[in-house]
Structure 1
Amino acid sequence: MNRVLVDNGNSGDILYCPAFQQMGIGWEQLVPTNAPLVGFGGTRVFPLGVVTLAVTVGDYRQQITKNVAFLVVDCSSTYNAIIRRPTLNLWKAITSTYHLMIKFPTNYGVGELRGDQVAVHKCYIAMMEMDGHLQAMSIEEHRIATELVERLEDVPLDNSRPERTTKIGTFANLMVSQALATFLKENRVVFAWSHEDMPGIDLPVIVHRLNVSPSFLLVRQKKRVFAQERDIDRW
């Protein structure tokens, strides 16, 4: 099959409906799924189903055959299918976007797939002329929003350090809440707000060491700029 996009970023293999129909696969082989795909524009596309196909890559004898579960999608695309990260991991494949090549181990040496520069250019031009949100999609993660069963209240553990608090529920009666607060205050030594509050941890447990030969000189890398929300003190 030609015009297969190799995408290292996302986690779902996609087979577009026109290619699915031309392969003569019966609709009864589709397994229903409720995981929508989300494009760049935020548009959701619900797959028609999942079909598992045996995919052979490489040339005889340096080839492998693996079963791949494809999400069948009914929308426009310049590609027939998209192969993504889990399948590449299954193949133990190494990809090179610069060389348009994939290499993978087989029982008879290293197999390889080579892309066509002309075909890639044509697909890219056609893709730019289409709606961008239909071209690159990822599986939407199902997030279950949970609500608190009961309201929580802050309990100060150290009167000299008002910022050191914990939370307890409010459903318990007053006597139980007071007993629980007293118990937590008496055992506040088990709480830790910084690394200095954990002096008893064995160093081999918390210290990360690189297995580097001492014969090599150390090299200082240039400073990296992080997004503001991640630009915190690092140690």
Structure 2
Amino acid sequence: MHRVLVDNDISVDILYYPAFQQMRIDREQLIPTNDLLVGFGGTRVFLLGTVTLSVMLGNYPQQITKNVTFLMVDYSSAYNTILERPTLNSWKAVTSTYHLMIKFSTDYGVGELCRNQVAACECYVAMMEMDNHLQAMNIEEHQTMIEPIERLKEILLDDPKPS
């Protein structure tokens, strides 16, 4: 699979539904869930379910295969999937965003994945060109603000320096 975003900052593996469909995997493997994914800015995305897939990393003989449980979202994205920090840790993988490289330990030495700067740039540009609500996984268009119940008191901590 191509167009995989490796993100060291998130804690869930995400698989976009269009990629799932392209893999022609039986939909019965999808385990329904009522969980929510909280996106950027606190917006919520309803999940289609979870699916556990066998993921192979690297080229023979420096390769590893692990089962990864993905949260499935039906959303437009320039990427097919997002891999997260705990999965990378379970692979004992080291990432370098500057070099667009991942190195990982195998039974036959250190495996590595090097990616194409042009493809990475194309995915980034495609994501930036999408509507803001798609980038942020925005489902709800409005938020309800809670009004304060009383006015806050200002307390001066240092008289000579009120700022």
Match of 2:151 in 1: none
What does residue range 4-153 of structure 1 map to in structure 2 within 5 Å? 4-135=4-135
**TM-score, length-normalised on structure 1?**
0.56
Q: Give the match's secondary structure for 2:42.
A: coil
* 1:154-196 CA-partner distances (Å, limit 9, x unpaired): xxxxxxxxxxxxxxxxxxxxxxxxxxxxxxxxxxxxxxxxxxx
How many matched pairs? 137
**TM-score, length-normalised on structure 2?**
0.80
- Structure 2 portions without partners, runs of 5+: 138-163
Q: Specify the code of the residue in structure 2 equivalent to 1:116.
A: N
- Relative contact order, CA 8 A, sep 6+: which one is greater? 2
Q: Give the match's secondary structure for 1:66.
A: strand
Q: Specify the code of the residue in structure 2 equivalent to 1:96.
A: S
Cα distance in 1, alignment partners of residues 126 and 43 from structure 2? 20
Residue 39 of structure 1 and its aligned partner are, at CA, apart by: 1.9
- Structure 1 stretches of at least 4 aligned residues deviating more than 3 Å after TM superposition: 131-137
* 1:132-152 CA-partner distances (Å, limit 9, x unpaired): 454467xxxxxxxxxxxxxxx
Q: Give the match's secondary structure for 1:123.
A: helix
Cα distance in 2, alignment partners of residues 96 and 35 from structure 1? 32
When residues 136 and 116 of structure 1 are mapped into structure 2, their CA distance, relative to the original with a 3 A threshold, is farther
Q: Give the match's secondary structure for 1:25.
A: coil
Residue 42 of structure 1 and its aligned partner are, at CA, apart by: 2.8
Cα distance in 1, alignment partners of residues 39 and 136 from structure 2? 6
Larger Rg: 1
When residues 109 and 132 of structure 1 are mapped into structure 2, their CA distance, relative to the original with a 3 A threshold, is farther
Q: CA RMSD in A?
A: 1.4
Q: Specify the code of the residue in structure 2 equivalent to 1:33.
A: T
Structure showing the higher strand proportion among its residues: 2
Cα distance in 1, alignment partners of residues 95 and 45 from structure 2? 28
Residue 43 of structure 1 and its aligned partner are, at CA, apart by: 2.3
